[in-house]
Structure 1
Amino acid sequence: MKSYSAQDINTILKGELIGNTKQRIEGPEQLEKAQNNHITFIGSQKYVKLWADSKASIAIVNDNLKVEPGENRALIKVKNADLAMAKILDLFNPPAPVFGTNIHPTAVIHETAKIGKDCKIGANCYVGKEVELGQGVILYPNVCVFDETIIGEHTVVWSGTVIRERCIIGNHCIFHTNVSIGADGFGYRPSDDGRGLVKIPQIGNVVIGHFVEIGANSCVDRAKFSSTIIGDGCKIDNLVQIAHNSVMGRSCIMAGHSGLAGSVTLGDGVIIGGSASIKDHTTIHSGATVGAGSGVVGDVEAGKTVLGYPAQDARDMLKQWVAMRRFMKNQ
């Protein structure tokens, strides 16, 4: 079992060690559940009061908070406790599931597929015609990669994920369980006789940049023509829908249950809160934030924060909510 002293951990974090403890640390834990072999973290003032009753021996603390270590306990003060805790979580991160053999005998790999050095392909995977897997790609059991798809180096694809034909995936991506990449976009029109719906063929693909992470059960649909694009460094939560021909810039974040309708454009660094929905053909410019549960029906300026349904400037919406609460209270 891994264990570290307070000095070991501070060497990694390069913070300010206050107090001391001889207790070796065997893992991280939240304040209320921690035991004396745990390290915890305090990232805001509201958690400071929990430190006195916590059994943790070490806490990582934002350097703007006033906290005393106590007897046989230590604090490590850092600029950002959340980022420091990420390093500790990585330090104690258990190893990934082990492959008994690099390519399982039940995997079906087309003879024209190109498999890079050190790739791992699990049981019951399917790799189609003219697929290219870069060096170190990992496909966990029951992954399907269809024809002419290209996956870059060191990308990890977890079980149940389906990547449809002609998609292009970058390096160092992570797709969690049951992700769908490249399913048909949702395109239908009423038939001439008005008695049914005509399916619009979706002949484009999906292009995903480097260092993109997509959460479980999320869907990225292929374009009607051209490409649905997700830029480098985007992070997408579980249960997110990205519709055909949408384009995401670099380092965007989409929280769970949010969705982009067709042909939405996001600039760089856009943040979409949970359960927010974005109308088709809308542009949200770089650095904008959409609050959780909001419905965006028009373009959003760069750097702006919008909230509500329909979404508008967050400050205006909050004022409306306060006024409405006062009105209802006085009725």
Structure 2
Amino acid sequence: MKFPKQHTLKDIASIISSEYIGADDFPVFGMNEIHVVEPGDIVFVDHPKYYDKALESAATVVLINKKVDCPEGKALLLSDDPFRDFNKLTSHFKPFQSSNVAIATSAKIGVNSVVQPNCFIGNNVIIGDNCIIHSNVSIYDDTVIGDNVIIHAGTILGASAFYYKNRPEGFDQLKSGGRVVIKNNVDIGALCTIDRGVTGDTTIGEGSKLDNQIQVGHDTIIGKKCLIASQTGIAGCVVIEDEVTLWGQVGVKSGITIAKGTEIYAQSGLGHSTDKNKTYFGSPAFEAREKFKEMAYIRKIPELIEKLKNK
């Protein structure tokens, strides 16, 4: 998430009332999670296991809960609770904006696009040309939709990320300031839910087709010409490359990459990255040919037991 204008380290520290290490005028351009940070971004870290990863990342400002040596060319924001202060920054730069109309005045809807009754179109939403948005679709703030997109009834674009910190008093949600981006020529079935990024974009690539009742988690990127069948659940921060097929009720673990041309058979549970143009099946999922061999061997076990008994 980029800020509307450049800020200084001193500006940011004043928002969260933190100490800092670095020049007062050290430039800050935005804030992002570790997997999408760029120079000029703030990243937060609150566990020693990930200190080095954050300090060595592309981010040039690290919000951290321990005073450490500051890497050359970077700055530190010192906080007793980086998670809390990252949320403060999200609330400051991307506050919730209520709406009392069905289609926000700041929304832009393209030529020949149709929005059916009972839809909600949030603030700063952009919908391209020749789109059809069927009834009871909710499109949250800042969503971007390309041309020739069809979204069927009851779908929700832009709900908050399912991302929580477990505290003694209960679960604390990491606030979402990112977007949903739908590219050209995408079809999205009925009752799908696509969560916004925490700070970046959740993206559905050009020409991809989603069936009904599909969940796509925060910051996931789906490539071009993907085909995803009903009741598939995709966790956050997944990268799905081009021309991938996921059949019905597939479950996908967070943070993995599904390589170009992969096909996942129905009801599989995928917990690892895949190889290009291969087919997988099972829960946990393995290459389909090997999985089917394994199943054939298992079916022979009763026969083998009987042979052993009769010896």
**TM-score normalised to structure 2 length:** 0.65
CA apart distance, 1:330: 4.8
Question: 1:105-135 CA deviation, whole Å, 9 max, x = no partner?
Answer: xxxxxxxxxxxxxxxxxxxx81103100000
1:304 counterpart residue number: 278
1:281 counterpart residue number: 255
CA apart distance, 1:290: 0.7
1:143 counterpart residue number: 119
CA apart distance, 1:170: 0.5
1:217 counterpart residue number: 191
2:234 equivalent to 1:235: no
Question: 1:294-318 CA deviation, whole Å, 9 max, x = no partner?
Answer: 0111100110101101111110000
Task: Name the aligned partner's letter for residue 218 of structure 2.
Answer: H
Question: 1:56-95 CA deviation, whole Å, 9 max, x = no partner?
Answer: xxxxxxxxxxxxxxxxxxxxxxxxxxxxxxxxxxxxxxxx
2:59 counterpart residue number: none
1:175 counterpart residue number: 151
Q: Which of the numbers 171, 189, 198 marks the counterpart of 1:197?
A: 171
Query: CA separation in 2, counterparts of 1:283 and 1:328?
Result: 38
Q: Which of the numbers 236, 243, 255 marks the counterpart of 1:262?
A: 236
Task: Name the aligned partner's letter for residue 202 of structure 1.
Answer: S
Query: CA separation in 1, counterparts of 2:208 and 2:147?
Result: 13
The residue correspondences of 1:1-331 to structure 2 (distance < 5 A) are: 126-191=102-167, 194-331=168-305
Query: CA separation in 1, counterparts of 2:276 and 2:106?
Result: 41
Query: CA separation in 2, counterparts of 1:187 and 1:328?
Result: 46
Task: Name the aligned partner's letter for residue 201 of structure 2.
Answer: S
Structure 2 unmatched ranges of 5 or more: 1-100, 306-311
| SS at structure 2 position matched to 1:228 | strand
Structure 1 residues 150 and 308, CA gap change in structure 2 (3 angstroms) = same
Structure 1 unmatched ranges of 5 or more: 1-124
| SS at structure 2 position matched to 1:229 | strand
Structure 1 residues 126 and 329, CA gap change in structure 2 (3 angstroms) = farther
| SS at structure 2 position matched to 1:306 | strand
| SS at structure 1 position matched to 2:274 | coil
Task: Name the aligned partner's letter for residue 138 of structure 1.
Answer: V
The CA RMSD measured in Å over matched residues stands at: 1.3
Task: Name the aligned partner's letter for residue 242 of structure 2.
Answer: D
Task: Name the aligned partner's letter for residue 190 of structure 1.
Answer: N
Rg larger for: 1
**Higher RCO, Cα 8 Å, sep 6+:** 2
Query: CA separation in 1, counterparts of 2:302 and 2:217?
Result: 39
| SS at structure 2 position matched to 1:320 | helix
Task: Name the aligned partner's letter for residue 189 of structure 2.
Answer: G
CA apart distance, 1:273: 1.0
Task: Name the aligned partner's letter for residue 155 of structure 1.
Answer: C
Q: How many residues align?
A: 206
Structure 1 residues 236 and 329, CA gap change in structure 2 (3 angstroms) = farther
CA apart distance, 1:210: 0.5
**TM-score normalised to structure 1 length:** 0.61
Query: CA separation in 2, counterparts of 1:196 and 1:246?
Result: 26
| SS at structure 2 position matched to 1:301 | coil
Query: CA separation in 2, counterparts of 1:225 and 1:147?
Result: 17
CA apart distance, 1:326: 1.5
CA apart distance, 1:329: 4.8
Query: CA separation in 1, counterparts of 2:153 and 2:127?
Result: 17
Percent identity reads 30
